[in-house]
Amino acid sequence: MKKKKIFIGCSSEEIKIAKIVEGFLDKDYEVTIWDEKIWDKAVFRLNNNFLNDLLKASLKFDFGILIGTPDDKLIKRGNEVLSARDNILFELGLFIGRLGIDKCAFLVDSSVEVPTDLSGIYIAKYNIDNITDKIKEVKQLFDNSSINKFNFFPSNTLAFGYFENFIKPLCNEYYKKNQFDIEGIKYSICSIQIMIPKTLSEDLNLQFQQIKNKIGVEEKCIPALGRRRNYNVDVKKLEKNQLEILDFPSTLTGINYAIRELLPDEYNENGEEYKQILNRELERFVHTLQSLIKRNGFDGLVSIKYN
């Protein structure tokens, strides 16, 4: 099973805290530490390279930990207070926006003033004595993060729409009658296989058509609960009274379009990083879809197959 990926953002002054966190989590997670030494601060001010890298990073990780340390001093209502760097707060907001609140944590030094706007976000205030306990709390937060909870990635939205508008009504139709009726023939032993490509090509419809030609399918009409129109589905007839429905979710083309919108305009969509993000979105689509199928009790009828 693949390890989930954790992003750790910190200031360069407190990289040692990030290393402690990494050492505690790297057994169960794939951990990457990003600190401001990776990019020159002047470059960040003069152009958007830093922001572009962060936008790409937010699509690559499953969880985010931002470490707030007393790097800056502020005057607040006449009093001097210690504050985390602005870029750390920015990164925290970016990752919360992409991953969701329950998949991000703000591990902050107990001497740091925490903005009131962060109420509702998981904040673990640490000191030299309790740092290990606070890291355990963050790990428990991530370990308990619901795999069925949807975040803001395009793949999750596409999987939810595909399930609600096709898989769910089709399954409800079958369970309502314990059979599919096609052209007057009743099939009581049925299965639905969702065919997922191992990689997404530029022309997904052509890719699916090639798979159909190789397998050999027939297009048939099946009524579905709550719809006025029938579903056109690809089927394989097995033995008498048995039917296998194969579906090729062309909605996956939306992942490519969505990623282009989420990333900077100049981002090279043919590059290796783009392909990695695209493949992770495909994995998220499958993971969300599997969760929905299982949650609704359809896993006895529906399965997912890579092709």
Q: Which of 12-16, 22-26, 66-70, 104-108 holds the top average pLDDT?
A: 22-26
pLDDT value of position 75: 38
Looking at residues 259-268, what average pLDDT do you find?
63
Q: Position of tokens 């619901």? A: 146
Backbone phi and psi for residue 148, each to the nearest 5 degrees, phi listed first: -90, 0
Residue 147 pLDDT more than 70? no
Residue that wins the pLDDT comparison between 127 and 111: 127
**Residues 230-250: tens digit of each pLDDT:** 788 888 866 677 889 999 998
pLDDT value of position 269: 60
pLDDT value of position 301: 94
For a pLDDT cut of 90, what percent of the chain falls above it?
14
Looking at residues 259-288, what average pLDDT do you find?
74
Question: What CATH topology corresponds to 154-306?
Answer: Rossmann fold (3.40.50)
Residue 251 pLDDT more than 80? yes
Where do the domains of the chain lie?
4-143, 154-306
Residue 45 pLDDT more than 60? no
pLDDT value of position 99: 81
pLDDT value of position 289: 93
Structure tokens belonging to residue 128: 């030299």
Same fold, 4-143 and 154-306: yes
Residue that wins the pLDDT comparison between 9 and 259: 9
Q: What architecture is the 4-143 domain classified under in CATH?
A: 3-Layer(aba) Sandwich (3.40)
Residue that wins the pLDDT comparison between 80 and 190: 190
Residue 25 pLDDT more than 90? yes
**Residues 69-119: tens digit of each pLDDT:** 775 443 344 443 344 566 777 788 888 877 878 888 888 888 776 666 566
Looking at residues 115-139, what average pLDDT do you find?
81
Mean pLDDT taken over the chain: 78
pLDDT value of position 98: 76
Question: Model's pTM, two decimal places?
Answer: 0.64
Are 225 and 176 in contact by the 8 Å Cβ rule? The answer is: yes
pLDDT value of position 133: 92
Residue that wins the pLDDT comparison between 260 and 266: 260
Side chain identity at residue 51, one-letter code: L
Residue that wins the pLDDT comparison between 152 and 179: 179
